[in-house]
Amino acid sequence: MFIIGGNVTSNKTILTHERLSIVGIDSGAQPLTSEDDTLILAVNGEIYNHRLIRKSFGEKYKFKTHSDCEVILYLYAEHDIEAPKMLDGMFSFILYDSKRDRVVAARDPIGITSFYQGWNSSQPDTVYFASELKCLHPVCDKIISFPPGHVYDSETNKTTRYFQPSWWEPSRVPTAPLDLKVIRATLEKSVRKRLMAEVPYGVLLSGGLDSSLIASIAVRETRAGSDLNSYNTPNGANDHLVGIDDEGHLKTVRKYERLRSFSIGLPGSPDGVAAQKVADFLGTEHYNYTFTIQEGLDALRDVIYHLETYDVTTIRASTPMYLLSRKIKALGVKMVLSGEGSDEIFGGYLYFHAAPDKAAFHDETVRRVKNLHLADCLRANKSTSAWGLEARVPFLDKEFLDVAMGFDPQEKMIGNGRIEKWVLRAAFDTSSDPEAEPFLPRDILWRQKEQFSDGVGYGWIDALKDTAASVVSDEDFAKRGELWESDAPDTKEA
């Protein structure tokens, strides 16, 4: 076996990796190897419970780095392919066990990180994995999006689901009572976990409910968290690692006194105005960028290239996020918190008004959460990673999902004086306690939802439609079936 830079090669297995360093920046170069070099790991992601896992091992293993991902090697050594069940984070990984000539691959429960699997019919015994679809396209004639919450084992050549929460089957309609205090506490803990970093970080702030709550919690958590100003040695005390401990306390490396927040929109957009108001209220160091319609149109080809999809809604929303990510990375920021997932969990889209009963409402929320890896997670991950920026999504925390998907969905339904996402708004409404510090201004906390691509400026959607109408002739559109057969676009914009 040969390990050269970011590559590992054996007679049958090749691993290659390009790293964005967030944790363990001075010692976590990949691929990671076990103490005896028999286990080799290439991984994209963050493991938020790595300090707890390290502590559980005691002195049994000698860690080479203080990368959060190194714990995967020893979880596998202890628990075999059950290891992914014990990870709390976002991840896609491939692990090679040289003793058994075995490959194990897994993806996080919701599919926050991108991961693909491919095959070549001329090499039926070969399987390919990659974080980008374009890596597999030249060599594979069959490619799938590796299913979230699953693990692949080359010994059996099978992929099985390891993520099996109680809410996963939509027919099981929850009946547990709603506890707003638990909703709040669990989301606060989720944000706290995701502030684990050794690099400059910030928060995406659209001025809507979801991103504003994440920003508000992040401001409080960074204010309360324990600051690490120097890095640990790989085998130093566990207390000197970034992340949360077994009591839920955060240790992180802060680079700035004030949390940085970022927004983007067309001049005068609803998001820009609301985001500035929230930033002023929270006291963040806010960067409110604008883009022109032409800048958005000019970026479309690159956005489609990086997103690896031509889904209309995804591309519409991804373009402003792509442009914003470039601005953020230019400031030296390498990680941001983002608000994806809330609408799917709490039924925030306006069509949820039409749900006939709580069973149908719950069924649709489960379906939307299961499909997040095809849309919002894909957008958040790839729009940012195109510029070497990492997006973390607190709403998709495993523990928070168990809580937010586990109470009676009647509480989420719209009507009888309740607007969409009433549960989330009420959980962070402190107006009944005059001594409590408010999380947000009341008009922001109870502001009706804007779709991200609408909130950046209503002219953006109209411009895309108008451009498509002028570029694609009626004659060409009529022949779309001849060009794309079963995958023909249903509109000119598509």
CA 203 – CA 218 distance, rounded (Å): 8
Q: Which amino acid is at 419?
A: I
CA 358 – CA 173 distance, rounded (Å): 8
| Residue 225 · residue 252 · CB < 8 Å | yes
264 labelled as ligand-binding?
yes
Q: Which amino acid is at 184?
A: R
Give the number of other Cβ atoms within 10 Å of residue 100's Cβ: 12
Phi, psi at 400, each rounded to 5°: -65, -40
Token output for 192: 């706290």
Strand partners, 145: 116
3 labelled as ligand-binding?
no
User: What is the distance of C-alpha 275 from the center of its chain?
Assistant: 21
Element of type H or E holding 287 = strand 285-290
CA 85 – CA 72 distance, rounded (Å): 11
Residues 6+ apart with CB under 8 A from 239: 245, 251
Token output for 106: 């897994």
Query: What is the residue whose two structure tokens read 């597999």?
Result: 136
339 labelled as ligand-binding?
yes
| Residue 249 · residue 241 · CB < 8 Å | no
Residues 6+ apart with CB under 8 A from 236: 66
338 labelled as ligand-binding?
yes
Nearest CA-CA partner of 275 in 218, 228, 219, 208: 208
Give the number of other Cβ atoms within 10 Å of residue 431's Cβ: 9
CA 351 – CA 367 distance, rounded (Å): 14
Nearest CA-CA partner of 228 in 269, 199, 260: 199
CA 9 – CA 129 distance, rounded (Å): 15
Residues 6+ apart with CB under 8 A from 351: none
| Residue 69 · residue 45 · CB < 8 Å | yes
Give the number of other Cβ atoms within 10 Å of residue 53's Cβ: 20
Residues 6+ apart with CB under 8 A from 353: 414, 415, 420
Task: Tell me if residue 11 falls in helix, strand or coil.
Answer: coil
- Residues annotated in a binding site for ATP: 204, 264, 338-339
Give the residue numbers of the binding site for L-glutamine: 68
Tell me the binding residues.
Answer: 68, 204, 264, 338-339
